[in-house]
Structure 1
Amino acid sequence: MRDLVSGVLTVSQAEDFGKYLGLPSVVGRNRRAVFAYIEQKLRQRFGSWNKRLLSKAGKEVLLKSVAQAMPTYTMSIYLIPITLCASLERLMNRYWWGHGGQGSSIHWLAWDRMCKPKKHGGMGFKRLHEFNLALLAKQGWRLLTNPTSLMARVFKARYFPTTSFYEAVMGGNPSYVWRSIMASQDLLKSGCRRRIGNGASTQVWTAPWLPDHQNPYIETDQVDHAHPMRVSDLIDSHTGTWNHEILHHLFNPRDVDLILRLPVCMEYEDIWRVDIINVCPLCGLVEECVMHIFCLCPYAINVWQLSQFQIPPFANRNFIQWTEEWLGGTTGFTREQQWKICGILHSIWTARNSAVWESAVPLPTMLIRRCLASWTSWVDSQQRIYGENSTRAVQSHASGETSAPSSRCFVDASFHGPERYAAFGFVVLDANSTFVAAANGPLSCPYDPLLAEAMAMCEALSWLKDNGYTGGEIYTDSAVLVLFINREANHVAHSLSKHVSALAERSFWRDVPPPFILPLVANAI
């Protein structure tokens, strides 16, 4: 066809359509040939670099700052063929292991392993195809979050006039730029979520808006296919909260529970956000969580083994349960042992932060040495500052020996009804177990028992401080916070937090207990 047209018009055929703003003007079927100029430029650079005697550090800088940056501009617009990406990576790998361009050399490490982060044993080089998709996903993110831009309006008018980029499809006779951006749509969808404000612009059945990493969509079968339902239809416009009656009528228990976890703010519009799954920075293998960081990560397991501490097993426990095993008042661990375990936990957390912010992880042996050195320095500092009396006090406290308390405060938190409204309660007794004061009231707290117990503890400590108490003991039925007692021994504070008055307002009683706990206080005395 090209020969026929050129013959009829008596014009010569151009082998290359040229570039505009550094990009190919026309992208035909042979895309490897269209983008071959990237490989040619890279070969020229490597030819000049091979004449230099560079160390591995110098080669690393050139590869990362120059070679892998050269195709970035083209990759942000077009999807480069996978075969071309592989060819570019082979050139980089050959240059890394080569010796001045003199023949072939042994590649002691596969390129896939060299592309891993340095803290995981690699060199931190980019995988060009994955990097290409990430750059194109940024273009898709702009189409999704900035629909009023000129680029977004042009693409929307041509390819998705009635939807957003999230629901867009390839369409008929698309340009190669649109094909390239659509190649990253699945990547964008895997981490793209709706943050609910007033719910007016989010569809209930098709948008990813539930707080679930694995499946952010509604699982309940759609009731009415004719009329698309918005999230705002599930919100009570008078109270600005979720309409529980509608939720329980339309959705299954799993969806209802996830919806009720979402806060509602009628003053803000819905926006798109990126849901980033936190991968453990120490091992890079699984999703980061508290139990994994401190106990189950291979790095943490190595640290605990080197410490030689007799700690409870990790199996079939969450972090709170495991902590209660060695921090609770009924365990056989002395205060000194508990403090050292806390020191190792802090050291593991410091190593985790070092991996995140400094891209460096200390060796487990070095971490243990630093932890023990810190403990020794702290004990020595206490001896120097406070002298012999402080030494005896520290040793007495570490062995668990305490004097009789001047007062005792029992604290508890609880949740009320299916809405799980939080409330606190505490009671203060003197050294003779005589009633001193009591209080209860509501808490602004999500459904998190440990957080509710901590907030209740804060309320009690604030009251004790404001009323001149400087010593004493505080008890709760949460072994993670302070001195642990069972629920039966904490029944007075529990009754205060569960009483209906706790949800109405803050209440305080001095000298005379409220009637509903009077029998319990009498039994406690």
Structure 2
Amino acid sequence: MFSKANRKEVVEVKQILHKFCEWTGQKINYEKSMCLFGKHVKRRNKRRISNIMGFKQVKEFNYLGIKLALRRLRREDFQFIIDKSMRKLNQWGNKNLSIPGKITLVKSVLLALPSYHATHSLIPKRLLEELDRIYKNFIWNKKNGRKGLHYISWPDLCKPVEFGGRGLHSNISKTPALRARIAWRFINNKHSLLHLIMASKYGEKLERGYSNCCRSTAFKLLKEGLKMLKPIVR
């Protein structure tokens, strides 16, 4: 839930939650409820609002698997994607898999792991490059971990089957297309919370994709998605 950081609005939010609990019989779990304040909210105001709601203050938290923070996310925040990929590779490493089998596993399982986070967060480019390198080595390396001969380059593997590739895709080249889905939602649903907030804040800057107007993560995600849509949408 979103609100201005003033006492009047926070009291109204609390009343709404109280009525909802009365009507439905459900209860709020105060141990799992948190308040995340903007950078310009004063410390005394933060403490007062937190006491009214009964929620603890945090500087960052996970919501639907996405980390929300008031700082720029670093590579370490996405290390879990590499760790998850390595766990799966260690499970498969003991099996005697053929190259087509490895390509199928990379295509159907591994390449899907970073998709959700790459869509909604600014994952560092180096981490995406590292994931591509890990998947490439898994396909060509031998069972005992020794390096194998790379018969086909990674860009050629990422081409469609009808063009001589294997239908894989690079994490770096796929990310703008994933963010185009959010941009299309922004364009198509002008009554959504996303459109109302972003359009009122950035206006024409968002449509034109000005790069130096701000450093907002949401702006950059939408800008990249709009750039992907521009050649194919009128």
TM-score interval, smaller chain = 0.5 to 0.7
Give, as a single letter, the amino acid of the residue that structure 1 aligns with 2:183.
G
Q: Write the distance in 1 (CA, Å) between the matches of 2:157 and 2:113.
A: 19
User: What is the aligned partner in structure 1 of residue 85 from structure 2?
Assistant: 42
Matched, 1:67 2:106: no
The match for 2:155 among 98, 103, 112 is: 112
Look up the match of 2:53. none
For residues 177 and 41 of structure 1, the distance between their equivalents in structure 2, rounded to whole angstroms, comes to: 26
Aligned equivalents of 2:192, 2:162: Cα separation in 1: 40
Which residue of the partner structure matches residue 54 of structure 2?
Answer: none
Q: Compared with structure 1, are the counterparts of its residues 140 and 101 closer, same or farther at alpha carbon in structure 2 (3 Å cutoff)?
A: farther
Equivalent runs, 1:137-286 vs 2, <5 Å: 137-160=180-203, 163=204, 165-167=206-208, 169-170=210-211, 172-193=213-234
Distance in 2 (alpha carbons) for counterparts of 1:177 and 1:17: 16
* Counterpart residue identity of residue 86, structure 2: R
Residue type at the aligned position of 2:229: L
**Identity of matched residues, %:** 28
Any residues of structure 2 matched to 1:113-512 within 5 Å, and which? 113-160=156-203, 163=204, 165-167=206-208, 169-170=210-211, 172-193=213-234
Distance, in Å, in 1 between the alignment partners of 2:198 and 2:136 is: 38
Map Cα deviations across residues 434-492 of structure 1 (whole Å, 9 max, x no partner): xxxxxxxxxxxxxxxxxxxxxxxxxxxxxxxxxxxxxxxxxxxxxxxxxxxxxxxxxxx
Aligned-partner Cα distance in 2 for 1:80–1:156: 24
Give the structure-2-normalised TM-score. 0.67
1:193-220: CA deviation from partner (whole Å, max 9, x where unpaired): 1xxxxxxxxxxxxxxxxxxxxxxxxxxx
Deviations 1:37-81 (A, max 9, x none): 211211111111111222233222211111001111112212322
Shift of 1:179: 1.5
**TM-superposed deviation, 1:142:** 1.3
Contact 2:66/2:121 (8 A) holds in 1: no
Q: Is the 8 A contact 1:114 1:122 kept in 2?
A: yes
Name the structure with the higher helix share: 2
1:93 paired to 2:132: no
Structure 2 counterpart of 1:175, one-letter code = S
Runs of 4+ with deviation above 6 angstroms: none
TM-fit CA distance, 1:127: 1.5
Shift of 1:154: 2.1
Residue 101 to residue 21, structure 1, CA distance change in 2 (3 Å): farther
Provide closer, same or farther for how the CA distance between residues 38 and 19 of structure 1 changes in structure 2, counting only shifts above 3 A: same
Paired residue type of 1:33: E
RMSD of equivalent CA atoms: 2.3
C-alpha deviation, 1:95, in angstroms: 0.5
After TM superposition, give the deviation of residue 32 of structure 1 in Å: 2.0
Provide structure 2 residue ranges, at least 5 long, that are not aligned to the other structure: 1-58
1:22 to 1:30, Cα distance in 2 relative to 1, 3 A: closer
SS of 2:230 mapped into structure 1: helix
- On the 8 A contact 2:99/2:140 being kept in 1, the answer is no
Determine helix, strand or coil for the equivalent of 2:190: coil
Aligned position for 1:51: 94
Is the contact made by 1:116 and 1:124 (CA closer than 8 Å) also made in structure 2? Answer: yes
Decide whether the 8 Å contact of 1:115 with 1:126 is kept in 2: yes
Equivalents in 1 of 2:144, 2:218: separation in Å? 37
- The residue aligned with 2:26 is none
